[in-house]
Amino acid sequence: MARVESTNHPCFNSRVKHRSGRVHLPVAPKCNIQCNYCYRKYDCVNESRPGVSSTVLSPEQAAFYFFELKRENPWMEVAGIAGPGDALANPEQTLETMRLIREKLPETTFCLSTNGLMLDEYIEELHELGLRFLTVTMNAVDPEVGKDIYGWVRYRKRGYRGIEAASLLLEKQLSGLEKAVKLGWHVKVNTIIIPGVNDGHIEEVARTVAGLGVEIQNCLPLIPVKESAFGELRAPDAQMTKTVRAKASSYVHQMMHCGRCRSDAAGLVGKKTSDQVIDFLSYVRNLPKDMAEERKHFAVSSQEGLLVNLHLGETRSFHIYTADSKGIRFLEKRTAPAAGNGDARWEELAGLLSDCRALFTVSIGGRPEEVLASSGLQVYKVQGLISGILEAYNQGEGLKQYARLPGFRAGKGSGCGGTAMGCM
């Protein structure tokens, strides 16, 4: 049995792909090389299907997203970073994401995909953070072949082209792979089959990486992207892909179940990311970049929990909602601070709602709005169905249709449509 078959990683071990999921955390937008089959408006082709543009999250957002998905779906075992650019062309974001996850869930299985240029420079740090699964895309082990695959390489603020670029990339890939194997990681090499460019050379790639101790290779047929330098090439036909894989399999175990997932895919390999998870991802993307975890709930002024229908000052208890991978759900009720006490009442309320991102209320006096807003709470003066309002907010849609109706208990205070007494 190949060593990878004892792991819980669904890409390395096809036997667990029906029960162990992975979450791709899209925190790495930039790239440091130009593959001729890649058009940078889209995700990194090395790991994903071309033509897809993933969301980008900050490390804090990504960690929160992972924690929430994992809480609801404990079988999502792997946290992977695969773009949308190159994980190690964005080392701060990649390492910080892993750090944040590690702190809270030290048992997490991490996985990273890279073109390998910066691998040996970050390998120790990645090891300390617990990385054990690595994918390096390697399309050639001869710079004469590589020079036709890579447009340029940028390394330590200097640009390289042609044979120089291909030689540098190859040297870095080889040394990174060697170190990763020595550290005992599970290592996969992805190779794009590019007809007429490297299809006759992939056997040599397989032989070389097998010699380094790489456990598995994923030979992916080129999908020509119109806007890329290889846009006019044809995709390999099924026979070519079969032949390439068969030859390579004499040296190294072949992956046959790759789903060419998006760099923000989540769930089981080969299954479409669920709509709920996609909605949740767009909610997380709209959270403040650095405070996603602290302020993840919503507060609502409501009599009965169906409608936003109370002024701030008359709200005796706030209905608290949260959004997670299962959608928006009611969390709890929180008793409002007693009336009176001037600003102290609003400061106490700010504390009570310190984990809420937004407050939805029919109206609010000028002073409480100032105090709450300065605590970081967004205040929306709306009325209507709670579910509709929260859904619209969550999706980043405007709340115009929920604006308080004219004549709704017109009040006296500036910015307040109530009696102007409740907020005293």
Please pick, from the candidates 31, 62, 292, 359, the single residue that binds ligand SF4 as defined by CB under 6 A. 31
CB of 56 to ligand SF4, least distance (A): 13
Neighbours of 12 (CB within 10 A): 26
Task: Number of residues interacting with ligand SF4: please give it, by CB under 6 A.
Answer: 21
CB of 217 to ligand SF4, least distance (A): 11
Please say which residue, 123 or 350, places its beta carbon nearer to ligand SF4. Answer: 123
DSSP symbols for 349-397 = HHHHTTTEEEEEES---HHHHHHHHHTT-EEEEB-EEHHHHHHHHHTT-
List strands edge to edge, sheet with 131-137. 253-254, 216-221, 186-193, 131-137, 109-114, 76-81, 21-24, 266-267
How far, in Å, CA of 106 to CA of 130, rounded?
A: 8
Please say which residue, 110 or 360, places its beta carbon nearer to ligand SF4. Answer: 110
Instruction: For helices 202-212 and 162-182, give the axis angle rounded to 10 degrees.
Output: 40
Say whether residue 33 binds ligand SF4 (CB under 6 A): yes
CB of 80 to ligand SF4, least distance (A): 6
For ligand SF4, what does the binding mask look like between residues 186 and 215, x meaning CB under 6 A?
------------------------------
Please say which residue, 24 or 285, places its beta carbon nearer to ligand SF4. Answer: 24
H or E stretch covering 35: strand 33-35
Q: Is 327 helix (H, G, I), strand (E, B) or coil?
A: strand
For ligand SF4, what does the binding mask look like between residues 250 and 269, x meaning CB under 6 A?
--------xxxx-------x
Say whether residue 15 binds ligand SF4 (CB under 6 A): no
Among the residue ranges 41-49, 174-182, 203-211, 340-348, the one whose residues contact ligand SF4 (CB under 6 A): 41-49
Please pick, from the candidates 25, 44, 57, 371, the single residue that binds ligand SF4 as defined by CB under 6 A. 44
Say whether residue 87 binds ligand SF4 (CB under 6 A): no
- Classify residue 5 as exposed, middle or buried by CB count within 10 Å of its CB (0-12, 13-18, 19+): middle
Say whether residue 85 binds ligand SF4 (CB under 6 A): yes
- Find out whether 353 and 377 touch, Cβ atoms under 8 Å: yes
Residues that bind ligand SF4 in the complex, under the rule CB under 6 A: 11, 22, 31, 33-35, 38, 44-48, 85-86, 115, 218, 258-261, 269
